Structure 1
Amino acid sequence: MKAFGKILGLCILGLLLILVALGFALTHLFDPNDYKDEIRQLARDRAHVELTLNGDIGWSLFPWLGLELHDASVATLTNPKTPFADLQMLGLSVRVLPLLRKEVQMSDVRVEGLNLSLERDANGHGNWEDIGKPLPTTTADPTDPNAPAVTEPGKPQAPSRPVKLDIDSLTVNNARVQYHDARTGRMYTAESIQLSTGAVHEGADIPLKLTAFLGTNQPVVRARTELAGELRFDRVLKRYQLEDMRLSGEASGDPLQGKTVTFSAQGQLLLDQSANVAEWTGLKLAANQMRALGELRVRNLDSEPQLSGGLSIAEFDLRAFFDGIGQPLPAMAPGSLGKFELVSRLQGTRDSLGLEDLTLKLDDSTFTGRIAVDDFARQALRLQLKGDTFNADRYLPAKSEKTANASAAREAEVQNSEAAAVASGESPLPDAPTRGAWSDDRLLPVERLRALDVQADLAIGQLTLKGLPVRNATLKAQGQGGMLTLQTLAGGLYNGSVNTQGTLDVRPETPQLALQTRIDKVPVENFIKSQNANPPVRGLLNLNSNLSGSGNSQKALVESLNGTASFVLNDGVLVNANLEQQICRGISVLNRKTLNGEPRGKDTPFKELNGSLVFRNGLASNQDLLVRIPGLTVKGDGDVDLRVLGMDYRVGVVVEGEQGTSADPACQVGERFVGVELPLRCRGPLEMGAKACRIDRDGLGQVAAKLAGDRIRDKIDEKLEEKLGDKVDPKLKDALRGLFNR
């Protein structure tokens, strides 16, 4: 028995020596470079690719099946002269005996200088789509024993046992991938790709590190990236994990206007294809000074993906962030957009994304609710927000230099008119203003509004808009296809209320605007006050208006303004306008006396002021102005030119005058002045109010002539009555009076 074992051992040893000798002979006596043409033909026939081997082929047989390719390229059979991939060197080796057990045990795999070019032509066809495809004229010979087997339709194939991988390491140096689309001219590149891994074993953690330079040409953007983590995969369960993932880098380019963005991302990534789930937990994001935490989960990967998760963005300076990425925001009030913070639950699909249960903090304001894009293709924006306070004025862009210069010129014109006016009213009537009061800067982003699909429902406890504090403000609006509808903008204003509806149609070349406004019991001075002057009038305003205009600037809208309005102003005061003194001056002229006293008050109170306006191309005409002042009734008609904020009014004042013993004798009203209408003329900048009013000398002369005629008629009546008495028929008396009155 011992002899048999000894003989068997010698036989096995002899076989091993023969195999080693055969391997030595094959690797030293057989040169694969002599069979490059056969290898190329085999690649055409079996892999349907054009393989070019410009460098040497190195190989080993046992115990490692080793292969080294140098300076090789691969092209499709349809375009054999244009390689889609080439490399400087590929080196790998596999243990021979484990291959018999369908186990791949490899040493280090090295790839040097891989260059992969992917192109889509003007017809939308990609060069990678032809990889592995035979030429259209090539048909397989069914009698060829080396031809690949054809599977009969419907015949089930026996499942193959997956190959077990065991690789010491994988290294890729200086690789490049390029994608070019001839239809759009866009190009995407990944250059200087460096990939290194540890031992590759299924079901075990595989450390990896990847660096690359990414770029695009439309727009020009360059980014340096680095990715590191621990990869684990299970091909049977179709489960892939990247643990302790760390992505970092820097980006620059045309959109960043010379600025650089530093970014990073961390977390645990999972793709479970058997459960149709993908997750990103422990998510950490950073871009310059912005920091965010969260988690993401996507279900139903194979049908209708559903996104859920959460996102929390720590407080940061939003204005500084946009400046840092080369997108400076328009100039606003100091401190605007200095604080931004967000916490939200995420929910989305392939076509939509919603920020649910949102808490958004912007400067001194806090909003809760929902912001969503229901359809990315239609830009369907949905807003449902509640806020505590919001000062909209601090976010309005600053005036342009052109507008600021125009405003300064107009203010100077108004100041000159006011300086020329004196309290006593002796100065000449102010000139009508000529300076435009409105900006011609572009007002609306028409192109973006035409593409907008929006539904907004906002509620704000305290809204500040154009300096007006609106309580419990509500805004409901919607827009689609270029038609935007303001369903309501309402709230409490001081002790009154305001409500506005309207439409904005941006479908035509010139935008069309229509507004309907109702104001109830709101102090009018808060609408018309300016920074440099006190309001010319005070009182509680009730207003109903229906206006329309067209254009894309303040100037164009005002110059095209048409519509109607009616107003009532109660319990009011004409500020810094002693209308009583103006009237006394008129009465003194009629009395042919000189006023002795000084004006006793600066303001003129009134009980009610009402009227209606008709707007035609920015000119507001009023024919029924009525003001009720104790002892006075004022009627007027004229125009307000909104284009230059100027007025031109003729006012008639019916007075009782001063009849007491303390009244100035020149201002006392006798019986013949009761009910007489005294004329005023008001002309000048609207900001001057009643300070722009003067006695109408021409009209006053007509009144004096009328009073003189009335006095003559009274004397004729007295003489007729004295001479004729009851001796003459009354009809004859009337005839005689008519004769003298002609």
Structure 2
Amino acid sequence: MKAFGKILGLFILGLLLIIVALGFALTHLFDPNDYKDEIRKLVRDRAHVELTLNGDIGWSLFPWLGLELHDASVATLTEPSKPFADLQMLGLSVRVLPLLRKEVQMSDVRVEGLNLMLTRDENGHGNWEDIGKVPAAAANPAQPPVAQTSPDTAPDAAAAKPDKAWQPLKLDIDSLTVNNARIDFNDVQKARQFTAESIQLSTGPVHNATDIPVKLTAFLSTNQPVIRTKTELTGKLRFDRALKRYQFDDMRFSGEAAGDPLQGKTLTFSAQGQLLADLSANVAEWTNLKFSANQLRALGELHVRDLDKAPQLSGGISIAQFNLREFLDSVGQTAPTLGDNSLTRLEMVSRIAATQNSVSLDDLTLRLDDSTFTGRVAVDDFAKQSLRLKLKADTFDADRYRPPQSEQAKAAGAARKTEVQGNEAEAMAASGTSPLPNQPTQVAWSDTKLLPLERMRKLDVDADLNFGKLTVEKLAIQNAALKTSALDGIITVDSLRGDLYNGNFEVKGNLDVRPEVPLASVQTHIAKVPVERFIQSQGTTPPLRGLLNLNSDVTAKGNSEKALVESLNGTASFALNDGVLVNANLEQQLCRGISVLNRKTLSGDPRGKDTPFQQLNGNLTFRNGVASNPDLKVRTPGLTVNGDGDIDLRVLGMNYRVGVIIEGDKSDMPDPACEVNPRFVGIEWPILCRGPLELGAKACRLDNEGLGKVAAKLATDRIGDKIDEKLGDKVSPELKDAIKGLFKR
């Protein structure tokens, strides 16, 4: 037995020596470079690509099947002279015996200088689409087509063989290294180019269901727009081909970008997390997501399902507080032309859901500057830009986000202010002895375009907004609510309501932006709102105070303040309760007129600088920016005022004729010179008001011409009284009337 074992051992040793000798002979006596033409023909016939081998082929046989290719290129048979890929060197080696068990065991795989050139021509055809295809011109018409065997015509023997389940190859690679690779994509049709260059890829051992360290770096660039990006990707890749499960743990993708859109600035970005794709379950996810871009920092997680159908994304995202204005500047973008103190603080937390056609932010909490919004924002259809908003805010100052006033508007405002100040200096409202101020001529409104009509015509919006406190035009609105919609060029305000300084208001209307000149229709209801707040919001001193009640229905057209005011038409009714004319003592001016009639001098100073009134009401008719008010009614203690005039909203000017009916001096100690004679009761004393609306009662004067008529009437009445006194019942009433008529003018 010992001798047999020794002989068997010597036999095996001899066999191994023979195998090694054969391998040495094949690798040293057989040179594959002598068969380049045969290799090219084999590749052309089987793989249907054109292989060019300009360098040497190195190889080994056993125990590693090794191969090295140098200076090789591959082209399609359609364009064999235009390679779509070339490389400087490809080196790999595979163990021979594991191949028999469908196992691929490789040593280090190295790729040097790979260039991949992809082109889409002017017809939209890509050169990669011809890979593996035989050109029609290359087909041999004399050769009959190869008959295709279908399952129905297959031989019985073949049909009897049972199908074997597909078994994936088992990969076992010590490492993979790619150095200095480059990918070029050129779209001739769209004149776009994309380049990935200086690609460096290195991995650890590549095994199924094990962690594989990966590092990839590259420089990316595009020409539309011109952007160049330095990138690095690291992590641990794990795959299970049988389960179709792929993971990328501890992933970090980072880099820097520069180019035309960044206007000379640099964007530094980073994305981290754990990636998973389970193709058997058709799901994918990105957990422990961390993202940064300059000052911007975000956390979250994303999940995708139905990868094989219509993918649906869900997850959550949290953006830490950052200065949006500074961030935009850091990436070369100009912040919107809003107030200087806006967009300085922004942070957000939300759930996110998306499909190929929609996206929504649910359970949203958005903090913008000093405001906090909660609710939902969604785009239901990207193609139609269907925006849906349901938000609630604690406080929001809309004035903070208004664009600065244009230079033209500033110039117009300055000119008008100068005009008003000049009139006010001449008014001397307290004494009332100066002439009436001139009617203003400067336009009070800007002709700057207000609305982006083209964008608004495409709007599809449904919004429901609520504010604890909303500031608009310096008006602090409590419990404000807005419900509005926009579709097919028509913007509808279903309701805009709120509480305003212990009063309330509601506005409804619509805006039709389909025509070149947009059309607006507005209905307004205001109840018990302090009117001085409206006037203060325009930056002027209120000439009166009181609680305003207003109902209006107006229309206008245009795309600027000036055009809208000049085309204003409609009706309104108003009432002002518990009002006060500020810095204007109308009673004192009337006393001066009465003292003239009494031929006495006022003995005391005015008792107050304001004129209170218990009610002010009337109706307005708007015609092309001019409001006609034929029935102004004002009631103050002891006085009733009737007014008839116009307010020219185009220049914020007024022109009124006011009649004051004296009901009697109600004070405890009346001025003797102003003591009302019983014959003055019921007389309508005339007053004219003309000038800038801001002056209020300062622009009012006693109507001397009308006062003369009043004096004549009083004289006539006094003569009539004397006639009655003298004649008594001595003559008939007809004769007394005839005698009185002789004294009437």
TM-score by length of 2: 0.91
User: Paired residue for 2:631, among 608, 616, 624?
Assistant: 624
Contact 1:713–1:741, Cα closer than 8 Å, also in 2: no
User: 1:682 is aligned with what amino acid?
Assistant: C
The CA deviation string for residues 238-273 of structure 1, in whole angstroms up to 9 with x for no partner, is 000001111111222233232222211111111111
Match of 2:565 in 1: 558
SS of aligned partner of 1:525: helix
Hey, what does 1:33 align to over in structure 2? 33
Superposed displacement of residue 439, structure 1: 2.8
Indicate which of 304, 307, 310 corresponds to 2:313. Answer: 307
Q: Tell me which amino acid in the other structure corresponds to 2:470.
A: L
CA drift at 1:13: 4.4
* Partners of 1:658 and 1:664 within 8 A in 2: no
1:108 match: 108
173 and 628 in structure 1: CA distance in 2 versus 1, 3 angstrom threshold: same
Whichever residue aligns with residue 121 of structure 1, its letter is: D
- CA deviations 1:566-607 (Å, max 9, x no partner) are 111011000011111222233344445544433221100111
605-614 or 671-680: bigger deviation: 671-680
1:395 aligns with 2:395: no
| Structure 2 contact 391–465 (Cα < 8 Å) conserved | yes
SS of 1:375's equivalent in the other structure is coil
Q: 1:329 Cα shift?
A: 2.5
Please say if 1:638 is aligned against 2:645: yes
**1:88 corresponds to:** 88
Deviations 1:464-483 (A, max 9, x none): 22222222221111222332
Is the Cα contact below 8 Å between 2:574 and 2:618 reproduced in 1?
yes
- Does the aligned pair in 1 maintain the 2:637–2:666 contact within 8 Å? no
- The 5-angstrom pairing of residues 521-540 of structure 1 reads 521-530=528-537, 533-540=540-547
Q: What amino acid is the match of 1:690?
A: A
**Counterpart contact for 2:389–2:463, Cα < 8 Å:** yes
Q: Would the aligned equivalents of 1:239 and 1:271 in 2 still touch at CA under 8 Å?
A: yes
Q: 1:694 to 1:458 in 2, by over 3 A?
A: same
* CA 202–408 in structure 1, closer or farther in 2 if over 3 Å, else same: same
- Which residue number corresponds to residue 208 of structure 1? 214
Within the alignment, does 1:117 sit opposite 2:123 as a pair? Answer: no
The residue identity in structure 1 corresponding to 2:247 is Q
1:302 alignment partner, SS class: coil
1:535-574 per-residue CA deviation (whole Å, 9 max, x = no partner) reads 1110110011122222333223222222221111011000
* Aligned pairs (5 A) from 1:487-506: 487-506=494-513
1:174 aligned partner: 180
Q: 3-state SS of the aligned residue for 1:292?
A: strand
| Partner deviation per Cα, 1:106-149 (whole Å, 9 max, x = no partner) | 222222222223333343332222221221345589989xx999
User: For residues 37 and 164 of structure 2, what CA distance do their matches in structure 1 show?
Assistant: 35
CA offsets 1:637-656 (integer angstroms, 9 cap, x no match): 22222222222222222224
Closer/same/farther in 2, CA of residues 330 and 131 from structure 1, 3 Å limit: same
From the superposition, tell whether residues 562 and 68 of structure 1 become closer, same or farther in structure 2 (CA, over 3 Å). farther
1:227, distance to aligned residue in structure 2 (A): 0.7
Per the alignment, residue 272 of structure 1 pairs with 278
Deviations 1:49-69 (A, max 9, x none): 232333333333333322222
Separation in 1 of the partners of 2:511 and 2:223?
38
Q: Name the counterpart of 2:193.
A: 187
- Matching of residue 585 in structure 1 with residue 583 in structure 2: no
> SS of the residue aligned with 2:108?
strand
Which of residues 243, 252, 263 is equivalent to 2:258?
Answer: 252
Give the one of 322, 328, 348 matched to 1:322: 328
- Identify if the C-alpha distance between structure 1 residues 498 and 729 changes in structure 2 by more than 3 Å, giving closer, same or farther: closer
Q: Which amino acid aligns with 2:237?
A: L
Q: Compare 74-83 and 480-489 and name the one that shifted more.
A: 74-83
For 2:158, the equivalent position in structure 1 comes to: none
Q: 1:637 to 1:151 in 2, by over 3 A?
A: farther
State the AA in 1 paired with 2:374.
T
Could you tell which deviates more after superposition, 518-527 or 412-421? 412-421
Aligned-partner Cα distance in 2 for 1:409–1:18:
110
Structure 2 gaps, min length 5? 155-161
Structure 2 equivalent of residue 136 of structure 1 = 136
Which is worse superposed, 497-506 or 152-161? 152-161
Cα distance change on mapping 1:71 and 1:461 into 2, 3 Å: same
1:739 CA displacement: 6.3
CA distance in 1, matches of 2:466, 2:142: 76
Q: 1:53 to 1:588 in 2, by over 3 A?
A: farther
Question: C-alpha separation between the residues in 1 aligned to 2:220 and 2:257?
Answer: 9
For residues 610 and 587 of structure 1, what CA distance do their matches in structure 2 show? 27
Over the aligned positions, Cα root-mean-square deviation in angstroms equals: 2.9
Task: Confirm or deny: 8 A CA contact 1:115 1:175 kept in the other structure.
Answer: yes
**Matching residue's letter, 2:133:** K
Partners of 1:661 and 1:457 in 2: CA distance: 57
Classify 1:697/1:738 alpha carbon distance in 2 versus 1 (closer, same or farther; 3 Å): closer
Query: Secondary structure of the residue that 1:500 maps to in structure 2?
Result: strand
Give the fraction of aligned pairs with identical amino acids, expressed as a percent. Answer: 70
Question: Which deviates more from structure 2 when the two are superposed, residues 654-663 or residues 209-218?
Answer: 654-663
- C-alpha separation in 2, matches of 1:600 and 1:373: 65
* 298 and 661 in structure 1: CA distance in 2 versus 1, 3 angstrom threshold: closer
Whether the aligned pair in 1 keeps the contact of 2:504 and 2:526 (CA below 8 Å) is yes
- Compare 273-282 and 609-618 and name the one that shifted more: 609-618
Instruction: Indicate whether 1:76 and 2:82 are aligned.
Output: no
Q: 1:660 to 1:537 in 2, by over 3 A?
A: closer
Q: Of residues 475, 485, 489 in structure 1, which corresponds to 2:482? A: 475
Structure 2 vs 1, CA of residues 730 and 416 (structure 1 numbering), >3 Å: closer, same or farther? closer
The question of whether the paired residues in 1 share the 8 Å contact of 2:473 and 2:538 is answered with no
SS in 1 for 2:380: strand
Q: Distance between the aligned counterparts of 1:55 and 1:660, measured in 2? A: 119
The aligned counterpart of 1:437 is 444
Partner amino acid for 1:287? A
Q: Deviations over 1:39-95 (max 9, x none)?
A: 333333221223233333333333332222233322222333333222222222222
**Displacement after TM superposition at 1:396 (Å):** 2.4
**Aligned AA for 1:32?**
P
Cα pair distance change 1:412/1:443, threshold 3 Å:
same
Correspondence 1:562-711 to 2 at 5 A: 562-656=569-663, 658=665, 662-711=669-718
Residue number in structure 2 paired with 1:373:
379
Unaligned stretches of 5+ residues in structure 1: none
Length, aligned pairs only: 736
Residue 673 of structure 1 and its aligned partner are, at CA, apart by 2.7
Are 1:506 and 1:512, in contact at CA under 8 Å, matched by a contact in 2? Answer: yes
Q: Residues 138 and 469 from structure 1, CA distance in 2 versus in 1: closer, same or farther, beyond 3 angstroms? A: same
Indicate if the aligned counterparts of 2:638 and 2:666 stay in contact, CA closer than 8 A: no
Find 1:510's aligned residue among 497, 500, 517.
517
Give the CA deviation at 1:168: 1.5
Residue 91 and residue 223 in structure 1: after superposition, are their counterparts in 2 closer, same or farther (change >3 A)? same
Matching residue of 1:60: 60
2:239 alignment counterpart? 233
Preserved contact between residue 723 and residue 736 of structure 2 (Cα < 8 Å): no
Q: Distance in 2 between matches of 1:558 and 1:223?
A: 53
Q: Which residue is equivalent to 1:348?
A: 354
Contact 2:719 2:740 in 1 (8 A): no
The answer to whether residue 158 in structure 2 is matched with residue 152 in structure 1 is: no
Does the 8 A contact of 1:282 with 1:293 survive in 2? yes
Structure 1 distance, partners of 2:84, 2:320, is: 46
Equivalents in 1 of 2:528, 2:111: separation in Å? 81
Distance 2:733 2:519 in 1: 69
- Secondary structure class of the residue paired with 2:261: helix
Residue 405 to residue 738, structure 1, CA distance change in 2 (3 Å): closer
Trace 1:730-741 onto structure 2 (pairs within 5 A).
730-731=733-734, 733-734=736-737, 737-738=740-741, 741=744
